[in-house]
Amino acid sequence: MDDRLTHFDASGNAVMVDVSEKAVTTRIAEARGSIQVNQAVYDAISNGTAKKGDVLGVARIAGIMGAKKTSDLIPMCHSLMISKCTVDFTMHPETLSIEACCIVKVSGQTGVEMEALTGVNLALLTIYDMCKAMDKGMEITNVRLIEKQGGKSGHYKREEA
Amino acid sequence: MDDRLTHFDASGNAVMVDVSEKAVTTRIAEARGSIQVNQAVYDAISNGTAKKGDVLGVARIAGIMGAKKTSDLIPMCHSLMISKCTVDFTMHPETLSIEACCIVKVSGQTGVEMEALTGVNLALLTIYDMCKAMDKGMEITNVRLIEKQGGKSGHYKREEA
Amino acid sequence: MDDRLTHFDASGNAVMVDVSEKAVTTRIAEARGSIQVNQAVYDAISNGTAKKGDVLGVARIAGIMGAKKTSDLIPMCHSLMISKCTVDFTMHPETLSIEACCIVKVSGQTGVEMEALTGVNLALLTIYDMCKAMDKGMEITNVRLIEKQGGKSGHYKREEA
Amino acid sequence: MDDRLTHFDASGNAVMVDVSEKAVTTRIAEARGSIQVNQAVYDAISNGTAKKGDVLGVARIAGIMGAKKTSDLIPMCHSLMISKCTVDFTMHPETLSIEACCIVKVSGQTGVEMEALTGVNLALLTIYDMCKAMDKGMEITNVRLIEKQGGKSGHYKREEA
Amino acid sequence: MDDRLTHFDASGNAVMVDVSEKAVTTRIAEARGSIQVNQAVYDAISNGTAKKGDVLGVARIAGIMGAKKTSDLIPMCHSLMISKCTVDFTMHPETLSIEACCIVKVSGQTGVEMEALTGVNLALLTIYDMCKAMDKGMEITNVRLIEKQGGKSGHYKREEA
Amino acid sequence: MDDRLTHFDASGNAVMVDVSEKAVTTRIAEARGSIQVNQAVYDAISNGTAKKGDVLGVARIAGIMGAKKTSDLIPMCHSLMISKCTVDFTMHPETLSIEACCIVKVSGQTGVEMEALTGVNLALLTIYDMCKAMDKGMEITNVRLIEKQGGKSGHYKREEA
């Protein structure tokens, strides 16, 4: 862990940091997050995957396309050519929440945490958009990095209770 | 509230819904969300607003630019010409969290909830990006619509405990 | 019909034409086009709509998102806030082809032919992309404007045999 | 040739496939397609290349810029840094059609068929846009992959009658 | 003229200002700027407009497409649906410079100065790109607003010597 | 130096040139340019860096984000994954001008002059945007390449008086 903000120079100016000396390695990141919905939305999404409207199918695509756009959205992010991206969902009926999981892989000089987190966020925002006529109270929550491999900082695995 | 998914037609196909019959009115939406950080990040952000690196200044711009890109990111969202967008932050030292608030205004045929939510999400993701060298365990949470005015569905104000 | 190229000035320079004097009216355009595939792809798409991989679901989203990006892709196209966009598919087993139909609606000063045609093209290109491991010989064909309503030039309906 | 849809996982979910194990090789793709026009448009384009309005010059740029945007348009396409892109046109007076040919080259882990096809499509759509005041009946047709080199699947050359 | 920075709120935070109370009027802006080149580039551009490579034709398209992207590039700019955009060039043999002029028109609540200036800049940058193999010393200069009509601040005409 | 326009083929058609045979080397470019302002704007920017509105902080981000978008803006530019980008400003009270300096680094097959120049231009345009309510007469000037390292053409250093 660094003990300072690496995205600013000594004068406090934002910079896109120099990664040219970093090794090209395979880097993988997994992020997760959830959206809390009401019963009606939960049922519509559960039932909808087959024929009535595939909310999660649309959200998955938004997540994957969003992960590809990360460097266009996050000011100091480097452009990357990601070699793999998946977005998957787990339904949690007991808490009326849908969890999104985005895994991104790259062979490059910088990690893909931001791509995975952006993929999760955009997938969840798309669920909100497609269901907001039924429930305006939905809430996106617990968006976090689960695991990260590759690069100098090595393996990171979030400890969860 | 609708009792069905409005973004799919009778066959279950995703559609960008027809808003051409909706009235052009002034519409405002406010969304909020937070990022939970560790003490080191909290201090760096608190101290940094002046000279050492203005994390929130960068995040604000990312939020505003992101709100403008919403229809490019959320598949079924209509393009809008938003007439105002602000992103503000509140520091919560007791919980080590930073809250982002995005307010968007438009004169148009469809609401700006998604723009406000997207603005919040991208501002928080940018904080994550700029501080991730110090703390990989940050978590984006409680992203939600606070208030919405204008349009047929009228005034919505989230009830919070 | 004009008898000259309206997108160039008297000196032959490309221009984005002035539409400021045109009336704001409701304008609708419908475009269609097809992709010719082999039997294996045809079967995979037919069977896939439910569970094995919804090629047409992905292509539909690409078409709708593409229609929204038209002015970013076609140099002299005006930006528009389209009020509706749908992309639908018809399977033609006798010819092993899938037909895409894109309908776009706007209230504005210029038509949406290009948006509808772009939506069709990107939907068909996405089918190509998702099936190209099974058939490289697919062919996009018969992309054309079917109907156009609104605006000074009035109603256009393609005559088809 | 694969006998299944590679862009979906075992559960039928769309994925951006993992190309990280594929070799970095030089890959080239050539795609072609045509637009069928009426006599007036044909003459305007033929005469226009010099002084009266260079339709094909504008279409060429749209094709090249479009090829660069492919991964932004086709949901499951990987971002690529293409090392070369050309778009050329052949006039066919006997059939009143203009043929576009797009050749794309990359040194990378995945092919550039989609880039070449997207380049052709956007070039042809731009011709449509610039000439639509003269002829609404134009038709984009025969968009197909002509040749593909590099990568595990080897050399592909379309057999044409 | 305002005597303060209108793009910041009372706390100094950047905002996308509220234009919702401004009148929808026709607004026009004209910007100009030049690129200083060496004799070889000047000759290549002068001769090239016909057959050998139309540098200015490419630059014109880049300028028009760039003007449409302004709100995506300038953080606090509002999205606009511009109704007209032209980019023209004047050759100045005596000073070996090429002047670009961009005129943008809109019916809206905010002006189009930034669109016109962005159009000029991107046209000139494109000239630089296409000629940089011949001359790395080119210089973009005198990019300025020439005239502005419409809106509360009224008519502005730059006084030039 | 080349003695011809390399971005056109033998027939005069614009091409995105083939860089696949060029070596992958570290390439760095530095560009600079200035904006001439009036006294009121100069003072507002000088005073504003701390608390009243950080014009240069916003402009810096626009410059960095703009440099990343270069290949989307300049028609024949190759996409690049830049490994570093900084934008800095120098205040010149004696001439009432602010100078922007953009340095871009890449490990790739083609140089980053255009990225550095685009970064400078977009930073300066953003200053114009944020201060235009106070001064419409600002002028962007002297945008030029200062230095370039790496690649076959070797080291270039602009000679300035």
Q: Which of F50, F51, F61 sits opposite B58 (nearest CB)?
A: F61
Contact D18 A68 (CB under 8 A): no
Contact D13 A80 (CB under 8 A): no
**Cα separation of A115 and A105, whole Å?**
9
E25-48 pLDDT, tens per residue? 899 999 999 999 999 999 999 887
If we measure between CA atoms, which residue out of F75, F80, B73 comes closest to residue D122? Answer: F75
Contact C144 D138 (CB under 8 A): yes
**pLDDT value of residue D11:** 82
Place of tokens 């009036």: F38
pTM tops 0.90, yes or no? yes
If we measure between CA atoms, which residue out of B143, B145, B141 comes closest to residue B155? Answer: B145
Partners of E17 in beta bridges: none
The CA–CA distances, whole Å, from B148 to A27, B124, C161 equal: 41, 21, 51
**Joined tokens for residue C100:** 């895409």
If we measure between CA atoms, which residue out of E84, E115, E2, E89 comes closest to residue C15? Answer: E84
Partners of F149 in beta bridges: F28
**Cα separation of C8 and F14, whole Å?**
19
Q: For a pLDDT cut of 70, what percent of chain A falls above it? A: 94
Residue type, B82: I
**pLDDT value of residue D1:** 59
Q: For a pLDDT cut of 90, what percent of chain D falls above it? A: 70
Confidence band for D153, pLDDT divided at 50, 70 and 90: confident
The answer to whether the CB of F32 falls within 8 A of the CB of F120 is yes
Q: Which of F50, F51, F58 sits opposite B61 (nearest CB)?
A: F58
Confidence band for A76, pLDDT divided at 50, 70 and 90: very high
Q: A142: phi > 0 → left, psi -120 to 50 → alpha, else beta; which?
A: left
Residue type, B120: V
Contact A83 D20 (CB under 8 A): yes
User: Which 3 state secondary structure label does DSSP give C124?
Assistant: helix
Confidence band for E50, pLDDT divided at 50, 70 and 90: very low
**Cα separation of D51 and D49, whole Å?**
6
Domain boundaries, chain B: 43-149
Of B101-110, C8-17, C141-150, F88-97, the least confident: C8-17
**Joined tokens for residue C3:** 């008898």
Give yes or no for residue E3 having a pLDDT over 70: no
Residue B10 to chain E, least CA–CA distance (Å): 33
Question: What superfamily in CATH does domain D43-149 come from?
Answer: Molybdopterin cofactor biosynthesis C (MoaC) domain (3.30.70.640)
**pLDDT value of residue D98:** 97
**pLDDT value of residue C1:** 59
Element counts in chain E: helices (H) and strands (E): 4, 5
Which is higher by pLDDT, C76 or A108? C76
Q: For a pLDDT cut of 70, what percent of chain D falls above it? A: 94
**pLDDT value of residue C118:** 98
Largest CA distance in chain A: 57
Partners of F30 in beta bridges: F103, F147
Residue A99 touches chain C, beta carbons under 8 Å = no
- Known binding positions of C: 76-78, 114-115
**pLDDT value of residue A101:** 98
User: Which 3 state secondary structure label does DSSP give B65?
Assistant: helix
Residue F131 touches chain E, beta carbons under 8 Å = yes
**What torsion do the CA atoms of B14, B20, B25, B28 make, to the nearest 10 degrees?**
10
Q: Which of A54, A134, A156 sits opposite B12 (nearest CB)?
A: A54
Give yes or no for residue F3 having a pLDDT over 70: no
The CA–CA distances, whole Å, from E78 to A3, B110, E82 equal: 38, 17, 12
User: Which 3 state secondary structure label does DSSP give B142?
Assistant: strand
**Cα separation of C145 and C147, whole Å?**
6
Residue type, B153: S
Chain A hits for C66, CB-CB cut-off 8 Å, are none
Q: For a pLDDT cut of 90, what percent of chain C falls above it? A: 70
Which is higher by pLDDT, E50 or A88? A88
The answer to whether the CB of E18 falls within 8 A of the CB of E10 is no
**pLDDT value of residue D151:** 82
Contact F86 A16 (CB under 8 A): yes
Residue C86 touches chain A, beta carbons under 8 Å = no
D88-106 pLDDT, tens per residue? 999 999 999 999 999 999 9
Confidence band for A29, pLDDT divided at 50, 70 and 90: very high
pLDDT, mean of residues F6-22: 86
Q: C91: phi > 0 → left, psi -120 to 50 → alpha, else beta; which?
A: beta
pLDDT, mean of residues D77-82: 93
Residue F50 burial (CB count, 10 A):
12
Instruction: Classify residue B61 by its DSSP letter.
Output: H
In sequence order, the 6+-apart residues with CB closer than 8 A to the CB of E10 are: none
Chain D hits for A61, CB-CB cut-off 8 Å, are 14, 75
Q: Which of E9, E13, E109 sits opposite B83 (nearest CB)?
A: E109
Contact A131 B54 (CB under 8 A): no
**pLDDT value of residue D85:** 96
CA dihedral sign of residues C129, C132, C134, C136: positive
**pLDDT value of residue E113:** 96
Residue F10 touches chain E, beta carbons under 8 Å = no
CB-side neighbour CA atoms (13 Å) of B81: 21
**pLDDT value of residue A9:** 85
Residue type, B83: S
First to last CA, chain B: 22
Chain E hits for B101, CB-CB cut-off 8 Å, are none
Residue C20 to chain E, least CA–CA distance (Å): 5
H or E element in which residue E26 lies: strand E25-36
The answer to whether the CB of D138 falls within 8 A of the CB of D130 is no
- Known binding positions of C for substrate: 76-78, 114-115
**Cα separation of A74 and A80, whole Å?**
13
User: Which 3 state secondary structure label does DSSP give E89?
Assistant: strand
**Joined tokens for residue B10:** 């009778």
Residue F155 burial (CB count, 10 A):
10
Instruction: List the single residue in B with minimal CA-CA distance to F53.
Output: B57
Q: Which residues of A are catalytic?
A: 129
**pLDDT value of residue A3:** 67
Give yes or no for residue A51 having a pLDDT over 70: no
Pick the catalytic residue from B3, B43, B88, B129.
B129
Give yes or no for residue A22 having a pLDDT over 80: yes
Place of tokens 């999400």: B121
Burial of D38 (0-12, 13-18, 19+ CB in 10 A): middle
Partners of B97 in beta bridges: B36, B92
Q: What residue ranges of chain B have pLDDT lower than 70?
A: 1-3, 49-52, 161
Pairing state between β E25-36 and E139-149: antiparallel
Residue B100 to chain F, least CA–CA distance (Å): 18
The answer to whether the CB of F6 falls within 8 A of the CB of F96 is no
Residue D112 burial (CB count, 10 A):
31
**pLDDT value of residue B49:** 54
Contact F75 E61 (CB under 8 A): yes
**Cα separation of D18 and A28, whole Å?**
12
Q: CA gyration radius for chain C?
A: 17
Return residues 48-77 of E near C (CB < 8 Å).
Answer: 57, 60-61, 64-65, 68-69
Q: Is B7 annotated as a binding residue?
A: no
**pLDDT value of residue E9:** 86
pLDDT, mean of residues A74-100: 96
Q: Is A114 annotated as a binding residue?
A: yes
**Cα separation of E7 and E76, whole Å?**
7
pLDDT, mean of residues F108-123: 95
H or E element in which residue D32 lies: strand D25-36
User: Which 3 state secondary structure label does DSSP give D137?
Assistant: coil
Chain C hits for D121, CB-CB cut-off 8 Å, are 121, 125, 140
D23-71 pLDDT, tens per residue? 888 999 999 999 999 999 999 998 875 445 789 999 999 999 999 999 9
Chain F hits for D107, CB-CB cut-off 8 Å, are 20
F31-83 pLDDT, tens per residue? 999 999 999 999 999 887 544 578 999 999 999 999 999 999 999 999 999 99
Q: Is F7 annotated as a binding residue?
A: no
**pLDDT value of residue D33:** 98
Phi, psi of B63 (to 5 degrees): -65, -45
**Cα separation of F135 and F29, whole Å?**
32
C35-69 pLDDT, tens per residue? 999 999 999 998 875 445 789 999 999 999 999 99
**Joined tokens for residue D49:** 């290349």
Q: Is D138 annotated as a binding residue?
A: no
E11-25 pLDDT, tens per residue? 888 889 888 888 888
The answer to whether the CB of C151 falls within 8 A of the CB of C142 is no
User: Which 3 state secondary structure label does DSSP give C72?
Assistant: helix
Q: Which of B57, B61, B84 sits opposite E18 (nearest CB)?
A: B84
Partners of C107 in beta bridges: C26
Contact E132 F113 (CB under 8 A): yes
Which of D8, D16, D115 is best to mutate for the A interface (most A CBs within 10 A)?
Answer: D16
Partners of E139 in beta bridges: E36, F144
